[in-house]
Every structure is written in structure tokens, then in C-alpha cells.
Amino acid sequence: MRRLLVPAILAVVSATGGAAIAVAAGPDPVIGTWQLNVSKSTFKPGPAFKGQTRTYSQSGQSITVAIKTVRADGKETTTQTTYQLDGKDYPVKGSPDVDSDSVKQVDSNTANFTLKKAGKVVQSGSRTVSKDGKTLTVKSTGTSANGGKFDDVLVFDKQ
């Protein structure tokens, strides 16, 4: 009996462990294109963006995000970074405010991020995809390149 029990337990442990690995290796729910819902977002102190589109793609463990923003004054910017959810710093291109990003997974729908300029933390926050996968909420606080403090909550709709 004992000789049969040990292989049975090993089989169950292997099967459930494999399922956990398969789930962990699946795509991040943030993958896709997200459009800023300005009316649901808050910009402190403001002014609000006119618009923003975030496009996330994934290749293996790496996630790339391209962020196209139309600021209140109508100026457009595009920033991009490719990162992993490991808390290490990765370069950010196209932003006057930040030059590196580190992201750490909290749970299957949430990740925390820290943005730096010249090695100094200038922004931190989180991104959370709703359980139904239709809404992305990005909360961030920090200091802009011109020294202004901000505390924003950006709400996006999945496209």
C-alpha cells in the first residue's frame, strides 16, 4: 500500500505544480490596448491630459509598453519601455521626466512600479487590471521634471 501511495502523491503534486507554472507563464492581463477615460480619471493638481493610449505587448517574460499622451496643452509625447516583473531597472525612452522603470508583480492583476531619473526615484505607483479585464487603473505619485508634485489616478478602458 505504501509503495502505491508515494507515487500517487508525487503524481498529484507534479500535476498541480505544473498547473501553477502554466498559469504563471500565461500572458499578463494588462496585455492589449487601453484608452484613457479622462472623465473617470483624477489629476492632482492638474491639468488633465486630453488623452492617452497605452499598448502593452508581451514576448516571453518581457513586457513592452508604448504610451502615447496628448497633454493639456496639445503637445504629444510617446514613451516606451520593455521590462520584466522582477523589480530590476529597465530603460525608458522618450520621457523628459524619467529614464528607468522597475516593475514588481503583486498578484495576477496588479503590479507596482518605480520610475527614476538619474538614479533618483521620482515616481511610484501601481497598475491594476479589473477582474473582468475591461478596466486598467494606474495610480501614481511623484515629481515632474519641473519640480511639480502630482498624485494621479488614471482609468483606462480596454479597446
In the 8-state DSSP scheme, what is residue 48? P
- Is the confidence at residue 99, as pLDDT, over 90? yes
Query: Containing H/E element for 5?
Result: helix 2-24
| Overall average pLDDT of the 48-69 stretch | 97
Decide: pTM greater than 0.95: no
**Burial zone of 30 (CB within 10 Å; 0-12 exposed, 13-18 middle, 19+ buried):** buried
pLDDT of residue 13: 37
**3-class secondary structure per residue, the chain:** CHHHHHHHHHHHHHHHHHHHHHHHCCCCCCCEEEEECHHHCEEECCCCCCEEEEEEEEECCEEEEEEEEECCCCCEEEEEEEECCECCCEEEECCCCCCEEEEEEEECCEEEEEEEECCEEEEEEEEEECCCCCEEEEEEEEECCCCCEEEEEEEEEEC
Instruction: For residue 14, name the pLDDT band (cuts at 50, 70, 90).
Output: very low
* Residue range 102-143, pLDDT digits in tens: 999 999 999 999 999 999 999 999 999 999 999 999 999 999
3-state helix, strand and coil shares in percent for the chain, rounded to the nearest 5 = 15, 55, 30
CA 27 to the chain's CA centroid: 13
Residue 10: is its pLDDT beyond 90?
Answer: no
